[in-house]
Structure 1
Amino acid sequence: MAERLVTVVNQKGYRVAPMSEQELLDIFDARANMEAMLVRLAIERGGDEWEAELLARTHLLNKLESCEASEHLLDEWDQRHQAFHTAIVAGCGSQYLLQMRERLFDLAARYRFIWLRTTVLSVEMLEDKHVQHQTLVDAILARDAEQASALMREHLLTPIPIIQQAMAGKLSPQAG
């Protein structure tokens, strides 16, 4: 049983844990701080192989970001996006920090799903993410840890307003 994703209901079994704005903000803030720290460490510790893997993952993601937005793109984009972010932090050199990052990612998943279903099919969102990703990669390759860390934090917090609106019923998913 995934921790914090289900709750026990006395004499009735289990149910999906309720989502809340407070939890959303806490998880996304923790994740943004963790990833900002990890990108800083990766820049300090990562070598040529790390940079090469980052460039390969960037290229794969860019190939999708230049495609026409469509429903079938959703899962593939999400997989490549996750692989891109994993490649960024892989150079940090700490399996324990990476495990903690993975845990935060898992906790954020159900909120991220709302964001994905609401925005990934938008050409404008894909273009915006492409610019954010390229700016981040440029800072990383320049070994500008301060800039890359700030960009990472900002990038990971951008979905919050969209998720808040969707949770409040002000937005609906674009895909069924």
Structure 2
Amino acid sequence: MNHQAIIRTTATTVYERIRDDILSGSLAPGLKLRIEFVCERYGIGASPVREALNRLSQDGLVVRRDQRGFLVAPVSREQFAELVKTRCWLESIALRESIANRSTEWEEALVLAFHRLSRTKRSLDDGAYTFNPEWEERHRAFHHALISNCGSAWLLAFCAEMRDQADRYRKLAAARVYPQRQGPDEHRAILDATVEGDVERAVGLLQNHYRKTQSIVEQDLA
């Protein structure tokens, strides 16, 4: 492997690590990402770090400012409101199409995804919120399974991008709302309506699910 290939491979690794830390809230919104700081934090050289930060700026998770370097993209109520509105539009279409294309295999995969989510603790600590990566993974898997039968790879890619951005906001407010909103009831209701083929109810429940999160996050940001 030549030198440039090694840099690209290393840049991909650090890109994924920084991205995970931004989405989880470990790197706070507005934090200055000085090259020296990032290199030291992740034990990576300057060249792959710059490449990774440039990629993250294209994703909208990092802001690049002329002469001032990089910083973690700020958050705002206005941006989140626009994000939720767009996500509701896209996932409503995807869910409608998934139900229209329903199959036994899709329904079984969806039920399994819900079962795995419902069996996983929201927090690693029962007394206070502690980030549980297994729950996060299964939560994403359930929401992906809901719309995975829509028949459009493009639509799924857009929905995944929206989900990444929304998860960042949701995690920032997770500690404040735990344990009031940790049960599977909202997800179960969405599942039941979807499996029953009740399109309008399923779409309405999904949108309400996201808007409830929006309300919580907006209160937290305020």
- SS of 1:15's equivalent in the other structure is strand
The answer to whether the Cα contact below 8 Å between 2:124 and 2:132 also exists between their aligned partners in 1 is no
- RMSD over aligned Cα atoms: 2.1
- SS of 1:14's equivalent in the other structure is strand
Could you tell me how far 1:8 is from its partner in structure 2? Answer: 2.0
Q: Where do 5+ consecutive residues of structure 1 fail to align?
A: 169-176
Residue 94 (structure 2) aligned to one of 38, 46, 68? 38
Percent identity, aligned pairs only, is 29
- SS of 1:107's equivalent in the other structure is helix
The match for 1:115 is 173
Residue 100 (structure 1) aligned to one of 151, 158, 164? 158
Could you list the per-position Cα deviations for residues 51-93 of structure 1 after superposition, in whole angstroms to 9, with x for gaps in the alignment? 0100111111111259996355632221111111111111111
CA 1:68/1:4 → structure 2, altered by over 3 Å: closer, same or farther? Answer: closer
Q: 1:1-176 maps to which residues of 2 (within 5 A)?
A: 1-2=55-56, 3-64=59-120, 70=126, 71=129, 74-119=132-177, 121-122=178-179, 124-127=180-183, 130-168=184-222
Q: Where do 5+ consecutive residues of structure 2 fail to align?
A: 1-54
Distance, in Å, in 1 between the alignment partners of 2:97 and 2:196 is 14
The answer to whether the Cα contact below 8 Å between 2:193 and 2:201 also exists between their aligned partners in 1 is yes
- SS of 1:158's equivalent in the other structure is helix
The answer to whether the Cα contact below 8 Å between 2:122 and 2:132 also exists between their aligned partners in 1 is no
4+ runs deviating over 4 angstroms:
65-69
The answer to whether the Cα contact below 8 Å between 2:121 and 2:132 also exists between their aligned partners in 1 is no
Distance, in Å, in 1 between the alignment partners of 2:203 and 2:173 is 22
Aligned-partner residue type, residue 156 of structure 2: L
**TM-score normalised per structure 1:** 0.84
Distance, in Å, in 1 between the alignment partners of 2:124 and 2:60 is 37
Could you tell me how far 1:146 is from its partner in structure 2? Answer: 1.1
CA 1:66/1:75 → structure 2, altered by over 3 Å: closer, same or farther? Answer: closer
The answer to whether the Cα contact below 8 Å between 1:43 and 1:140 also exists between their aligned partners in 2 is yes
Distance, in Å, in 2 between the alignment partners of 1:69 and 1:41 is 38
Structure scoring higher RCO (CA < 8 A, sep ≥ 6) equals 1
